[in-house]
Amino acid sequence: MERTGTPRERLRHVIFDYDTLPAKAFDLLLIFSISCSVLVVMFDSVPSFHAAAGDIFLAFEWFFTILFSIEYGLRIYAAERRGRYALSFFGVVDFLSIFPTWLSLFIPGTQYLLVIRFFRVLRIFRLLKLMQFVHEANFVRASIVASSRKILVFLFFVIVLTSIVGALMYLIEGEEHGFRSIPESIYWAIVTVTTVGYGDISPETPLGRFLAALLMITGYSVIAVPTGIVSAEMSSMRSSCSPERLCRACPGLRHEPDAAFCRRCGLPLEDAPDGDGLS
């Protein structure tokens, strides 16, 4: 199949698809290069490694930048709709992966460029397609999207709660115990209600500790709310994925597994797999 079409079509197939051997090989190689270049950026940020092998890291960085630049050029060349690719999520991430290194030729390389370079870790999301996890990713995303409004309400409540408790703790504990301003106290309240609990700020007065204990127990209990929302959503999505029974007259309608008649038009239902040749 991949032998047909113009060279540009064949190239597009290798670069953008995942279903033939050359396309898979290309993507595996790409994921490997991305992982290596991310590791290079990561280790280059460790002071002792940078001192010992900064030059080698720089050489690797240029090697990967040139490689990714060629790849980016090929993608632009092969894309069916070039502007759409260039402005897509992956198009922007691909550009940000190579841009900072080229920029460092003209501007002395700062840490800002290092971090933008690190965003190439996002390219690794292509791995999901390669590993055929798209169905699972879509399921997880769909259930989050379906519950997002309820979770937003929950987060809204958490933010107002932490604001109120933060302001109260600022009053109760005061500057001498580390609650130096309302924003810092709200930060502490978020650290507490999410059960992170760094301990860099912690209450010391009895009343402050009592209020903190109430906040902890609240945080510990209300975690049940988003979990319940997502669980109920996922259970509901799962149970509506059962083998379908179809009505010839109402094609887009789903029916319960024991349905014998269409609930909209009253015609008898047919099984989905062999339901396309009744007469």
Residue 163, classified by CB atoms within 10 Å of its CB into exposed (0-12), middle (13-18) or buried (19+), is middle
> Does residue number 82 form part of the binding site for its own copies (CB under 8 A)?
no
Choices 25-33, 71-79, 94-102, 195-203 (CB under 8 A): range interacting with its own copies: 195-203
Q: Does 187 bind its own copies (CB under 8 A)?
A: yes
With CB under 8 A as the contact rule, the residue among 124, 126, 205, 244 that binds its own copies is 124
Structure tokens, 85: 């690719």
Q: Is 42 in the site for its own copies (CB under 8 A)?
A: yes
Our finding on whether 160 is near its own copies (CB under 8 A) is yes
Considering the rule CB under 8 A, would residue 84 count as an interface residue with its own copies? no
Please pick, from the candidates 257, 273, 274, 276, the single residue that binds its own copies as defined by CB under 8 A.
Answer: 257
What does the per-residue mask of binding to its own copies show for 221-240, with x meaning CB under 8 A?
Answer: x-xxxxxxxxxxxxxxxxx-
Neighbours of 219 (CB within 10 A): 20
> In the window 86-105, what residues touch its own copies (CB under 8 A)?
none
Contacts of its own copies in 161-180 (CB under 8 A): 163-164, 167-168, 170-171, 175, 180
Say whether residue 33 binds its own copies (CB under 8 A).
Answer: no
**Interacting residue with its own copies among 37, 97, 104, 143 (CB under 8 A):** 143
**Least distance to its own copies from the beta carbon of 232, Å?**
4
Pick one of 56, 112, 145, 249: the residue that binds its own copies (CB under 8 A).
Answer: 112
Give min distance, CB of 4 to its own copies, in A.
33
Stretch that binds its own copies, among 66-74, 75-83, 89-97, 135-143 (CB under 8 A): 135-143
| Binding of its own copies by 6 (CB under 8 A) | no
